[in-house]
Amino acid sequence: MKIGLVLSGGGARGIAHLGVLKALQEKSIQISGISGCSAGAIVGTMFAAGYSPDHIFEIVVSSNTLKAMRPAWSRSGLVRMQKVEEVYLKYIPHNSFEHLKIPLTVNATDLYAGDTVYFSSGELLKPVMASCCIPGLFEPIIHNGVTLIDGGILNNMPIEPLLGKYDYIIGSHCNPYGIQQTPKSMATIVPKALFLAINNNSKSRLAQCNFLIEPPALKSFDPYDIRKSIEIFKAGYEFAKELELPSQLVS
């Protein structure tokens, strides 16, 4: 059976995908193809390149990676992704979709056309970085003459590239909506409103997954709080580990 895996965006919550992947591996689930957005694009890229979930976790939360994400303001007043791309290039020097061990698709948003753009061939890391360009924080990435921002703006659960190509699709959604505390300022209201809008574009796509993994504990984590990466990883792992898999996956 060919199994496709779709990985949502969700900021720091995307680390939960690694826990989910680790649990799926322990259950002997073999992934045949991946589609990922934003944080899911990064996780999907590293996993498709052959790195284990534990190793990817070490890379994502390493001091070098976090240092690369510190503000390096451009003339537009936004953080540039160039340093982050350079870090990942050390781990994926071939920088090519074709050299991955598992077929991968990532999506970004064409800022001017207002369309979702999918990438599955050619240069790898620039589209992956574009998929993560949260508007208002990161400077858009220009790739092949197209200005790109975060793929989650239009499609945070990019299942479309997997439909019709795989026998069974597993969805890992790390962005369950829920407000644990009353927002007290505009600085907290705006990000929550953005994630609410992003969640809304995922609803129909979540329903298309044959099996959905959505750890409810992730509601208690801020999408921008990388400091709780260990707890987020455990939330994904422990939830997925306790799930009873459908008969189609274990037969």
What is the chain's Cα-based Rg? 17
From CA 136, how far away is CA 116, in angstroms rounded?
19
Phi, psi of 152, deg, nearest 5: -70, -15
Three state DSSP letters for 206-240: HCCCCEEECCHHHHHCCCCCHHHHHHHHHHHHHHH
Task: Mark whether 150 is an active-site residue.
Answer: yes
Q: Is 138 left (phi over 0), alpha (psi -120 to 50) or beta?
A: beta
Integer angstrom CA distances of residue 10 from 42, 50, 139, 212:
11, 23, 18, 16
**The one catalytic residue among 8, 150, 172, 202:** 150
Residue that the structure tokens 């791309």 belong to: 85
Can you list the pairs that 223-227 forms with residues at least 24 positions away whose Cβ atoms lie under 8 Å? 223/10, 223/11, 223/12, 223/13, 223/175, 223/191, 223/195, 224/11, 224/12, 224/191, 225/12, 226/12, 226/15, 226/61, 226/66
Please tell me which residue in 8, 38, 131, 229 is annotated as part of the active site. 38
Measured in whole angstroms, how far is the alpha carbon of residue 155 from the centre of its chain? 11
For residues 147-167, one letter each, b for 16 or more C-beta atoms within 10 angstroms of the residue's C-beta and e for the rest, the string is bbbbbbbbbbbbbbbbeeebe
| Residues with a known catalytic role | 38, 150
